[in-house]
Structure 1
Amino acid sequence: MHATAALRTAARTPLIRFLGRRTVPQSVDHTPRPHPASPTGILPDSFAAYRIKAQQHGPLGRASFTQGAIGRNSGASLGAVQPKQGEFFDRTELPSRFHRLPWSEAEIEAIETGGASLFA
């Protein structure tokens, strides 16, 4: 007797029962709305208007590229960059207590052997 053939003839009933028919509701409003967390709470007039105002690593508008505003001047011509009061660009500018400590030979050996040299 073929057990698989006997199982195929029985009607399969799913374990999950869905309530109601599978229909898409017609009353869903698909009109565009601003995101609830948007700062202005309004939609832009058009995508072109959005791109003129948008900033992502610099202006996105075409006018700034065609007029040569981006990349026209060298970085040196923009002036020196100085850190604000209390800010530092490098750790070596901090007081000596914040400098990196030199590695000892024992620490280097422990790192290179994966810690096995500490127990050998």
Structure 2
Amino acid sequence: MHATIALRNAARTPLIRFVGKRSVPQSIDHTPRAHPASPTGSLPDSFAAYRAKAQQHGPLGRASFTQGSVGRSAGASLGPIQPRHGEFFDRTDLPNRFHRLPYTEAEIEAIETGGASLFA
């Protein structure tokens, strides 16, 4: 006899048992409320008002993002792209002590063999 057939024919008994009868609460308040950690403690008037003030990699309500106007102005018109004092765009702009160290021959061999060369 195959075990799969025996298991398929057996009645399934759940491993967890609930005490009492199922009951759905009748008085649940689903009205929108501001999150307890909200800085303002209030809800926005509408989604459009929220989106006009929201930030996601820049203002979302900017007119340049409306349909048909993307790319209308040059990127240089957005302003300079220089990092502020103490900010760096790439690791190579940092002092030498923060640069990546070159790999040794042993490390390259370990990477290429998937670590097997460490045990051979």
Query: TM-score of the superposition, structure 2-length normalised?
Result: 0.59
Structure 1 vs Structure 2: percent identity of aligned residues? 72
The match for 1:39 is 39
Matches within 5 A, 1:1-120: 16-18=18-20, 22=23, 24-26=25-27, 28-61=28-61, 65=66, 68=69, 71-120=71-120
- Gaps of at least 5 residues in structure 2 are 1-16
Q: For residues 63 and 96 of structure 2, what CA distance do their matches in structure 1 show?
A: 49
Q: For residues 90 and 24 of structure 2, what CA distance do their matches in structure 1 show?
A: 63
Aligned residue identity for 2:23: R
Q: Structure 1, residues 87-120: CA drift from partner, whole Å, max 9, x if none?
A: 2222222222222222222221121112322333
Q: For residues 46 and 23 of structure 2, what CA distance do their matches in structure 1 show?
A: 36
Aligned residue identity for 1:22: S
Q: Aligned to 2:114, what secondary structure does the other structure show?
A: coil
Query: TM-score of the superposition, structure 1-length normalised?
Result: 0.59
Q: For residues 17 and 33 of structure 1, what CA distance do their matches in structure 2 show?
A: 33
Task: Quote how far apart the aligned CAs of 1:61 are.
Answer: 4.2
C-alpha change, 1:74 and 1:118, in structure 2 (3 Å) is same
C-alpha change, 1:40 and 1:104, in structure 2 (3 Å) is same
- Gaps of at least 5 residues in structure 1 are 1-14
Q: For residues 50 and 87 of structure 2, what CA distance do their matches in structure 1 show?
A: 36
Greater shift, 53-62 or 72-81, is seen at: 53-62
Greater C-alpha Rg = 1
Aligned residue identity for 1:72: R
Q: Aligned to 1:76, what secondary structure does the other structure show?
A: helix
Task: Quote how far apart the aligned CAs of 1:39 are.
Answer: 1.8
Aligned length: 103
